[in-house]
Amino acid sequence: MDAMMREQLEDVLLRFAEVFSEYKIPEDAFETALHDALDAIDALLRSGPVTAEWLTDEYEVIRDSNPALSTEEIMKRLAAAINEKLRGE
């Protein structure tokens, strides 16, 4: 995956978080939508190191590590984790 594609993925995740924060969508609805979005992303990234399962696990680790994090902050951290994973860190 090239830098442009990584940047687009990060933008998508951040926008996803912004929409859910803006409309104050309940956490359970957010998680359902996130899982659906991750499945769609996984279909696009199947050949790479980032999968829906990895994204879901990483999201849960970030969320559970600090329950006070905002949805936007969780998505920012998830985007950073994706970049690290894609760089092989």
Q: Which amino acid is at 81?
A: A
pLDDT tens for the chain, 89 residues: list them: 567 667 777 777 777 777 777 777 777 777 777 777 777 676 666 667 777 678 788 888 998 998 888 888 888 888 888 878 877 75
| Single pTM value for the model | 0.52
> Which range of residues forms the domain containing residue 35?
3-87
Task: Judge whether 18 and 83 are in contact, CB under 8 Å.
Answer: no
Domain tally, the chain: 1
- Strand intervals (E) in 1-89: none
DSSP 60-84: HHHHHH-TT--HHHHHHHHHHHHHH
